[in-house]
Amino acid sequence: MREYIDGATAIVRGALAAGCDFFAGYPITPASGILMAMMRDLPRTGGVAIQGEDEIASIGMCIGAAMAGSRAMTATSGPGISLYSENIGLAIMGEVPLVIVDVQRLGPATGGATTVSQGDVQFVRWGTAGGYPIIALCPTDVADCYRLTVRAFELAERFRCPVFLLTDKEVVMTPATVAADAFVPLPVPERTTADTGLPYEFVPAGDVPALHLIGDGAAVRFTGSTHDEGAFITKHGPTIEALNRHLAAKVDDHVAEITMMDHIAQAGAATLIVGYGVTAGAVASAVELSDSPLAALIVRSVWPVPEEAIRDALAGIDRVVVPELNLGLYRREIERLAGDREVVGVNRIDGDLISPQQILEATA
Amino acid sequence: MSITISRLATFRNEKPYPFCPGCGHGPVLDRLDEALVRLALDPARVVIVSDIGCSGLSDQYFATSAFHGLHGRSITYATGIKLANPELTVVVVMGDGGTGIGGAHLLSAARRNIGITVIVMNNLNFGMTGGQHSTTTPEGAITATTPGGNLEHPLDICATVGVNGAGYVYRGTSFDEDLADRIVAAIENPGFSLLDIWELCTAYFVRANRFSRRGIEQTMGELGFSPGVLYERDVAGYSAAYAAAQGGTANAPLGVAPQTIPTEFAHSLEEPATLLLAGSAGGKVRSAARVVAEAAIRAGLWVTQKDDYPVTVKTGHSLSQLTVSPQPEPLGPVTPPDVLVVLSDDGLRKVRPLLGSMHPDGVVVAPPDLAGVTTPAHVVLVDPSEAPVRIGKPALALSMASAAIAAAGWFDLAALRAAAACGPFAEQNTGAVEAGLALPHG
């Protein structure tokens, strides 16, 4: 048995499987399918979905709902991520478990609403003040949208931070044939809560404090200002430093746990292709079609950069090819890990996809 | 055993307020505390949502739950908290600064009648950042950014939320002796409540404008901004309305629930092939492509469907390109199709650039009036008027696609009949498929 579905449907199915019970979003192509499906289906499972007056309100509602006990998700595209920016920082500072779907379209500005792109891969990482880490997962196809949405909720709970599902117009809006058993039931992510003690414990830095939910037990304080462990505003230097180091360490100390990648290793391969998201399929095809052995790395957790895994895959490689639907935005992450190796991009920004043949030309 | 429940004497914690001497914030927060004491709520289930500015410090002086977010967005967090848990009492404390920058949220919260209470500590300027003018600064007033007098008309906060449906609206001052009563009434209203409380900013506005308590009353009078309870409506809060509106759909089948397709027919494809339907918006091009796709899946093929249409969906072209393959294929760039079905002038205009690069083994299926195409591919004329039954406009795309599939011979036509016979449009789709299959196709 097979299904004929698009990525938007798979994302919503994944969110519901992960126990999502709050969604707020604002209409934007190519993410509107997720909003509409959530507005229809979430109340049927006892949750709440609402169309915000704008993107700022939508993510704000999600943050409020998340701290009052909901498992929250929002979905937008690049222009909406721009408006989410300040609240992404709030979710980092307030340690909010939140899933943000970015269905990338061609930018900058309004760009091309129905045109595919991977132009937000650095933007989601650096899109708010301060430079503190977030997590971003990149599904390669419709079935992966389902799996990685569930994983995004798991990671949001585990690390109490915004987790991006970084996808694109083609994966989300193109109906595709999927084996029905690709949608295996997955367990609802675990949630660790506490109703006594301090709402924010940040020592040791790499630990993630249990979630204190508003309305569950004792009074709970939440703040987006620089704060002590009780969520009171502080200007005490050592406390400030401990807080900020914690916000980075709780993600950066756990890269191995977050890392998701598929490594196609081949004996004798001296060229490695690194791809993510919608280009992953063309990468795999290029490896199959090639007369000479090629290695490939499909990065499904693009942030934090899985540096160790990438370094391991670079062993024995002297040339790296990075196909992307942008001008080489993720290639810079590979370049800084590649040492003296040649790193070349295959870049398409005309609104169409990269073919396996284009990649093969760059491997020659 | 008897349990004695004693009313909390205060919802404040032990911290003293940090506000300037003469500032209205402290008295307003004292009235809020009195109101909460009178309502005898569980402090853990009261959420004070504070904005930014001096008013944004407020939550830290209460032993309730608290949410201190971004400037102007406090209403959005309060909305999320209230939607997630309608049992909570949610009170927003914000300044006139947050009211201005978050104006869209204020309007929407009133229109929705989300069951939160907003207290605007309206001191007519930005205090924390140095006395700049805000959306409520009276015309002519001197501030750090209006040295020649404010040129903008002040926002009537109460009228704005009032005419947009708010459940309870009150305008007063930090000197009002009965303010705690008003706050109690606001919290008890199930809809959106707002109290616009005018205050003295002794650090800036008072100094720059020789302003006073009397000045507040005089300014309200001059502007025609009446004090008192301005709106009090019997409204349902948004959460209750949402529950009522969605009640009928609870436990209804999910739209995203699996709809599986059996693979029960044969195909003859060894390599991937593409079918492009090129028609006009409103011509059921995408739904025709979907029927063909489901047929191909029934024949054991793997299909992706790339649709292209203008942003104004009811005009211009509508293209659907199906890639059908014996193996799963990754999404790839647009390529000249193996089979092109031309359905209209709009479609033909859009695909004209592809015609020249089609393969000589490729096929263009077109009605006689659109057959004047230049292409190395084989052109097959299919005249829908030759069908034994009349093919109407809604059926044309699926009929022509069916004729093309019959000509291409990619899979068992029983798969097409089976796909057409599924779903709410089984009758129409079956008619279109049968009419198409009956057409002479070269």
> pLDDT 10s digit of each residue in chain A, 364 long?
999 999 999 999 999 999 999 999 999 999 999 999 999 999 999 999 999 999 999 999 999 999 999 999 999 999 999 999 999 999 999 999 999 999 999 999 999 999 999 999 999 999 999 999 999 999 999 999 999 999 999 999 999 999 999 999 999 999 999 999 999 999 999 899 998 889 999 989 999 999 999 998 899 999 999 999 999 999 999 999 999 999 999 999 999 999 999 999 999 999 999 999 999 999 999 999 999 999 999 999 999 999 999 999 999 999 999 999 999 999 999 999 999 999 999 999 999 999 999 999 999 8
ipTM of this complex prediction, to 2 decimal places: 0.98
Domain assignment present for B101: yes
Flag whether pLDDT at B255 surpasses 90: yes
Cβ-Cβ pairs closer than 8 A, A with B, add up to 223
Q: What share of chain A is helix, strand, coil (3-state, %, to 5)?
A: 40, 20, 40
Task: Give chain B's length.
Answer: 442
The distance of Cα A239 from the centroid of its chain, to the nearest Å, equals 30
Whether residues B305 and A45 touch (CB distance < 8 A) is answered with no
Q: Please give the Cα distance from B84 to A64 (Å, whole number).
A: 8
Q: In Å, what is the CA distance from A8 to each residue of B255, B260, B348?
A: 12, 17, 30
Nearest CA in chain B to A280: B330
Question: Are the C-beta atoms of B101 and B74 separated by less than 8 Å?
Answer: no
The alpha-carbon gap from B156 to the nearest alpha carbon of chain A, in Å, equals 21
Whether residues B81 and A66 touch (CB distance < 8 A) is answered with no
pLDDT of B246 = 86
* 3-state helix/strand/coil string of B121-178: EECCEECCCCCEECCCCCCCCCECCECCCCCCCCCCHHHHHHHCCCCEEEEEECCCCC
Cβ–Cβ contact A175 with B under 8 A: yes
Residues 335-354 of B with CB under 8 A from A: none
Structure pTM? Answer: 0.97
pLDDT of B388 = 84
Domain A2-182 maps to which CATH number in 3.10.620.30, 3.90.740.10, 3.20.20.70, 3.40.50.970? 3.40.50.970
**A chain contacts of residue B88, beta-carbon cutoff 8 Å:** 68, 214-215
Q: Are residues B318 and B214 in the same domain?
A: no
Nearest CA in chain A to B324: A177
- Fold matches, A2-182 and A261-363: yes
pLDDT of A206 = 95
Q: In Å, what is the CA distance from A110 to each residue of A113, A125, B224, B311?
A: 7, 20, 43, 13
Flag whether pLDDT at B1 surpasses 60: no
| Tokens at A224, concatenated | 């987006």
Nearest CA in chain A to B57: A233
Whether residues A60 and B76 touch (CB distance < 8 A) is answered with yes
Every domain of chain A and the residues it spans: 2-182, 261-363
Q: Are residues B30 and B158 in the same domain?
A: yes
Whether residues A170 and B306 touch (CB distance < 8 A) is answered with yes
Domain assignment present for B7: no
Q: In this predicted model, what pLDDT tens digit does every residue of B388-431 receive, in sequence order?
A: 889 999 999 999 999 999 999 999 999 999 999 998 999 999 99
Q: Are residues B147 and B293 in the same domain?
A: no
| Tokens at A92, concatenated | 């980092």
Q: In Å, what is the CA distance from B172 to each residue of A226, B119, B157, B180, B183?
A: 33, 11, 12, 11, 11
pLDDT of B304 = 97
Q: Are residues B206 and B327 in the same domain?
A: no
Q: Please give the Cα distance from B19 to B58 (Å, whole number).
A: 10
Q: Are residues B79 and B187 in the same domain?
A: yes
Task: Give chain A's length.
Answer: 364
Flag whether pLDDT at B297 surpasses 80: yes
Whether residues A44 and B249 touch (CB distance < 8 A) is answered with yes
Q: In this predicted model, what pLDDT tens digit does every residue of B173-228 receive, in sequence order?
A: 999 999 999 999 999 999 999 999 999 999 999 999 999 999 999 999 999 999 99
Least confident of B95-109, B137-151, B360-374: B360-374
Q: Are residues B170 and B287 in the same domain?
A: no
User: In which residue are the tokens 């004792």 written?
Assistant: A218
Residues 53-82 of A with CB under 8 A from B: 53-54, 56-57, 60-70, 72
Cβ–Cβ contact A290 with B under 8 A: no
State the fold for domain A261-363. Answer: Rossmann fold (3.40.50)
Cβ–Cβ contact B312 with A under 8 A: no
Whether residues A62 and B63 touch (CB distance < 8 A) is answered with no
What is the average pLDDT across B67-76? 98
Q: What is the CATH number of the domain that holds B104?
A: 3.40.50.970
Q: Are residues B118 and B41 in the same domain?
A: yes
Domain assignment present for B17: no
**B chain contacts of residue A177, beta-carbon cutoff 8 Å:** 293, 297, 301-304, 328
Flag whether pLDDT at B5 surpasses 80: no
Q: Please give the Cα distance from B298 to B422 (Å, whole number).
A: 12
The alpha-carbon gap from A214 to the nearest alpha carbon of chain B, in Å, equals 7
Instruction: Identify the H or E element spanning A296.
Output: strand A295-299
The alpha-carbon gap from B48 to the nearest alpha carbon of chain A, in Å, equals 9
Whether residues A61 and B302 touch (CB distance < 8 A) is answered with no
Beta bridge partner(s), residue B132: B126
- DSSP 8-class letter at A210: P
Q: Please give the Cα distance from A352 to A350 (Å, whole number).
A: 6
Whether residues B80 and A9 touch (CB distance < 8 A) is answered with no
Nearest-by-Cβ selection for B69 from A9, A224, A356: A224
Q: What is the CATH number of the domain that holds B289?
A: 3.40.920.10
Q: Are residues B212 and B93 in the same domain?
A: yes
Residues 86-125 of B with CB under 8 A from A: 87-88, 104-105, 107-108
Q: Are residues B44 and B102 in the same domain?
A: yes
Residues 207-266 of A with CB under 8 A from B: 214-215, 217-225, 231-233
Q: Which residues of A41-59 are buried (b: 16+ CB within 10 A; e: fewer)?
A: bbbbeebbbbebbebbbbb
pLDDT range class, residue B249, cuts 50, 70, 90: confident
pLDDT of B387 = 85
Flag whether pLDDT at B16 surpasses 90: yes
Flag whether pLDDT at B313 surpasses 80: no
Cβ–Cβ contact A307 with B under 8 A: no
Nearest-by-Cβ selection for B303 from A4, A86, A281: A4
What is the average pLDDT across B316-336? 95
Question: Are the C-beta atoms of B110 and B192 separated by less than 8 Å?
Answer: yes
Domain assignment present for B413: yes
Least confident of B164-168, B244-248, B342-346: B244-248
Domain assignment present for B317: yes
Relative to beta strand B132-133, strand B125-126 is antiparallel
Residues 258-277 of B with CB under 8 A from A: 258-263
DSSP character string of B87-102: TSEEEEEEEHHHHHHT
Nearest CA in chain B to A284: B330
Number of domains present in the structure of chain B: 2
Range of the domain at B61: 25-241
Q: Are residues B409 and B316 in the same domain?
A: yes
Flag whether pLDDT at B8 surpasses 90: no
Q: What is the mean pLDDT of chain B?
A: 95
Q: Which of B224, B241, B258 is the last residue of a domain?
A: B241
The alpha-carbon gap from B130 to the nearest alpha carbon of chain A, in Å, equals 20
pLDDT of A50 = 98
Q: Are residues B66 and B206 in the same domain?
A: yes
pLDDT of B25 = 98
Whether residues A61 and B83 touch (CB distance < 8 A) is answered with yes
pLDDT of A35 = 98
Q: Are residues B352 and B223 in the same domain?
A: no
Question: Are the C-beta atoms of B149 and B137 separated by less than 8 Å?
Answer: no
Cβ–Cβ contact A350 with B under 8 A: no
Find, among A179, A178, A214, the residue nearest to A193 by Cα: A214
Q: How many CA atoms lie within 13 A of A155 on its CB side?
A: 29
pLDDT of B287 = 96
Domain assignment present for B250: no
Question: Are the C-beta atoms of B296 and B303 separated by less than 8 Å?
Answer: yes
Nearest-by-Cβ selection for B305 from A41, A54, A174: A174
